Amino acid sequence: MSTIEKEVSRRRTFAIISHPDAGKTTLTEKLLLYGRAIQSAGSVKGKQNDKHAVSDWMEIEKKRGISITSSVLQFEYEVYCINILDTPGHQDFSEDTYRTLTAADSVVMVIDAAKGIEPQTRKLFRVCAMRHIPIFTFINKMDREARDSFELLDELEKEFGIGTYPMNWPIGCGRDFKGVFDREKRQILTFSDAHSGGTRIKAIECSLEDTEKLDSLIGEYSRKALVDEIELLDGASFDFDIDKVRSGELSPVFFGSALNNFGVEPFLENFLKMTTAPLSYLSNEEKISPLREEFSAFVFKIQANMNKAHRDRITFMRICSGKFERGKEYYHVQSKRPIKLSRPGQMMAQEREVIDEAYAGDIIGVFDPGVFSIGDTVCEKGMKVEYAGIPTFAPEHFAVIEQIDALKRKQFAKGITQIAREGAIQMFFIPESGMERVYVGVVGMLQFDVLEFRMESEYGVKYRRTDTPHSLVRYVMNEDIDFSSLNLMQNTKWVQDVNGRNLLLFTAEYEMNWALDKNPQLILKEFSQM
């Protein structure tokens, strides 16, 4: 076995998704704890001595207690090299999550046992289903009052149109939560809210026919309920099929409590066995194997100012094939120029460790001098490869922002441009005017708050914001058109993007239809959608 084959075979790259407050970031940190990547788990502000989540590195994330941007976390566990992509749960930042999912080989979906499937979970699942990504479900917070476990499984199957296979089964919930029963090993893990995760919970082998032993472990009432439920499961649930798991048709389900480190390590061990090593990626309808010797990668995320001391821009790349070597010259497909990837690093949220090599499946961060865009391909010279671009989402909310301090014109322009390049906002210029006043479009209103916070904290700039009634944006496909001659409604605005392409902003669909009706020559195109 070659070095590339050996290294790629031990990589596992997955994203963790959920609705806000389902426990996604807590589960992520407990996985890091087991991999000894961190010594103690943090939590959002206001809990556990005001520690903050390791993966929440932005100041505003720490203040609000929510994840705003995806984080990349790499650590070793036993024979595996694990790359976790921790994503925002809030729907206003869903575009960042969608882009991040393009870099994942599988997904862990965290569900609150009391709430079940929530709107954001549905949206994220649809993206996974389109790519046939394997989905593993962790039903969290079983130590609190929860919905009926069969009802939760039924909801998963009906909402998502896939089968479920419970790998373990909860014994009660809330105050009566006694632990879980491992269906394959026929073992019981007993729950204690005092478990800190520092030591492995010892499984107790116990046949369901051993009434006396079960009663001593979980009590007569819980034993009777468990026996009846396992009998029902064994007779009526889907059969386990690893091929269906890996094609996204069957989701293995685990029950536990991430906050109490209960069920996390068994979940991790089972997950690593069932999920796949890095998969092939499509380039011009050709599948590029991760075992191919030549290096290739694509950009799925750009982040400015992760390091306060340097104020640099980091480009995140998913390696699709071969081996990356520090100092080697590669080829940037979009600019058709050779390029050296400067200061390559592996990530632990905002912390970076400079590396000499990396392999297919790894996520690396490189210094970006301003040449990269989301969706770009970087590869070995002479390699004919270009990975599919990552679609952008049409903004739904718009505002005009204008600088207040004329002396900070450069900082204003730099900040808006850099944040727009990350994909967090979309910026539109007013033709034949400067950068002092621009339109900004976002998918969710909370992104405006993040923009304001980041502009002030990272670039020292305050600005004036005026929300506008626009809700639709369309590209103008006519190459030669006189916008002054167009018959448009008063609220329709002509703007241009960073590449100089013309667009029209509309307040409603009827306004767009009016423009098309009054200007038969006008050709409009929607933003590309995931």
Alpha helices in 440-508 (DSSP H): 446-459
Closest by alpha carbon to 333, among 286, 376, 296?
376
DSSP string, 398-448: EEEEEES-GGGHHHHHHHHHHHHHTTSSEEEEPTTS-TTEEEEEESSTHHH
DSSP 528: P
Query: Region 447-459: what's the mean pLDDT?
Result: 84
Query: Region 334-363: what's the mean pLDDT?
Result: 83
- Give dist(CA 495, CA 408) in Å, integer: 24
Closest by alpha carbon to 379, among 281, 453, 463, 461?
281
Chain centre distance of CA 389:
17
- DSSP three-state, residue 221: helix
E strands, 113-257, are: 135-140, 163-166, 168-171, 179-182, 187-190, 204-205, 250-255
Q: Which two tokens stand for residue 245?
A: 């798991």
**pLDDT tens string 38-55:** 665 543 333 344 444 444
Q: Higher pLDDT residue, 141 or 204? A: 141
CB neighbourhood size of 266 (10 A): 21
In order of their start, the domains of the chain are: 3-274 (3.40.50.300), 281-379 (2.40.30.10), 397-525 (3.30.70.3280)
Chain centre distance of CA 307:
21
pLDDT band for position 304 (50/70/90)? low
pLDDT at 500: 84
Q: Which two tokens stand for residue 27?
A: 């589960």
Cβ atoms 225, 218 nearer than 8 A: no
**pLDDT tens string 92-125:** 445 667 778 889 999 999 999 999 987 767 767 7
Query: Region 3-21: what's the mean pLDDT?
Result: 91
pLDDT at 82: 92
**pLDDT tens string 236-247:** 878 999 999 999
pLDDT at 195: 52
- Give dist(CA 17, CA 86) in Å, integer: 7
CA atoms within 13 A on the CB side of 259: 14
The residues pairing with 352 across neighbouring beta strands, listed in sequence order, are: 347
CA atoms within 13 A on the CB side of 494: 16
Helix (H) or strand (E) holding 154: helix 149-160
The average confidence (pLDDT) of the chain is 83
- DSSP three-state, residue 59: helix
**pLDDT tens string 225-235:** 999 999 999 88
Q: How does strand 80-86 pair with strand 106-112?
A: unpaired
CB neighbourhood size of 165 (10 A): 19
pTM of the model: 0.77
pLDDT band for position 347 (50/70/90)? low
